[in-house]
């Protein structure tokens, strides 16, 4: 499956006033995607606001996808929570999938943030397999940020064995990223890709784990955005 991994700089993160120019940058990324990739993944929290606030932007993006064969995954946050154990049904973090024929799937609510609060998401685990959608004949399971740390969520991945797992992260996950992606892969042998927001001068990379378990990276490179905000898009065949 041909996947465009899109990381974004942290400037503009969770700023509602940035929604307009970030929507346009997303659309520009779709327009500039060579060969019409099958999936384009943006981070969780890419937009800020309620479903009512975000839906017009999603409709605009959906229109831009029309006539192609690409799907887009993108997240929005309707609030902020403090660190610590948080009841899953109170997390204001969501993810949606947009398809080339006007499909708008979700929004799916994040059910856990770390391995410490993984048990809070157990009552909602049945929602995870229901997220699976098909893009160009490949089944895709999206996860929202810290859900990937939950062994309960990883067990759900195993139960559906998707062709691809996409983890849309929020921001700057450090040394724990690669081991956790490997754990996600180990749950079902599905390839997985991770996207997130990063520091403006970050030296981080794009990260994927391929079907054979090999961890692969590519350097960040500015492909969109403005003078103080950027997107870095990188193609992977997974």
Contact 55, 47 (CB under 8 A): no
Q: What are 135-153's pLDDT values in tens digits?
A: 989 999 999 999 999 999 9
Residues ≥6 apart with Cβ < 8 Å to 92: 77, 78, 79, 80, 81
Q: What are 40-91's pLDDT values in tens digits?
A: 999 999 999 999 999 999 999 999 999 888 999 999 999 876 555 455 457 8
**DSSP class of 119:** G
Q: What share of the chain is helix, strand, coil (3-state, %, to 5)?
A: 30, 35, 35
User: Domain locations in the chain?
Assistant: 2-237
What average pLDDT does the structure give for the chain? 89
Give the pLDDT score at 86: 52
Least confidently predicted of 42-46, 67-71, 194-198, 215-219: 67-71
Tell which phi-psi region holds residue 7, choosing left (phi > 0), alpha (psi between -120 and 50) or beta: beta
Which of the four pLDDT bands, split at 50, 70 and 90, describes residue 113?
confident
Give the pLDDT score at 175: 74
Residue 129 has pLDDT above 90, yes or no: yes
Torsion angle of C-alpha atoms 8, 11, 167, 124, degrees rounded to 10: -150
Give the pLDDT score at 88: 45
Q: Token pair of 186, please?
A: 């180990």
Residue 130 has pLDDT above 60, yes or no: yes
**Angle value at C-alpha 131, between 13 and 82, nearest 5 degrees:** 35
Fold annotation for 2-237:
Nitrilase/N-carbamoyl-D-aminoacid amidohydrolase (3.60.110)
């Amino acid at each position: 499956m041909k996947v465009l991994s899109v990381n974004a700089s942290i400037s503009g993160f969770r700023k509602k006033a940035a929604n307009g120019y970030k929507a346009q940058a997303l659309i520009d990324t779709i327009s500039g995607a060579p060969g019409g990739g099958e999936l384009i993944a943006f981070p969780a929290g890419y937009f800020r606001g309620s479903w009512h606030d975000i839906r017009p932007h999603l409709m605009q993006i959906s229109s831009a996808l029309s006539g192609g064969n690409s799907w887009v995954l993108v997240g929005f946050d309707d609030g902020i929570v403090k660190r610590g154990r948080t009841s899953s049904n109170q997390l204001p973090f969501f993810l949606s999938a947009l398809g080339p024929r006007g499909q708008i799937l979700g929004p799916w609510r994040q059910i856990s943030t770390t391995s410490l609060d993984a048990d809070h998401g157990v009552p909602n685990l049945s929602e995870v397999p229901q997220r699976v959608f098909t893009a160009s004949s490949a089944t895709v399971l999206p996860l929202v940020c810290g859900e990937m740390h939950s062994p309960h969520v990883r067990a759900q991945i195993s139960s559906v064995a998707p062709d691809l797992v996409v983890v849309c992260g929020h921001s700057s996950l450090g040394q724990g990223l690669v081991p956790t992606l490997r754990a996600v892969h180990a749950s079902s042998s599905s390839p997985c890709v991770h996207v997130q927001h990063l520091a403006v001068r970050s030296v981080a990379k794009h990260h994927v784990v391929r079907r054979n378990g090999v961890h692969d990276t590519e350097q960040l490179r500015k492909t969109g955005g403005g003078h103080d905000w950027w997107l870095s898009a990188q193609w992977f065949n997974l």
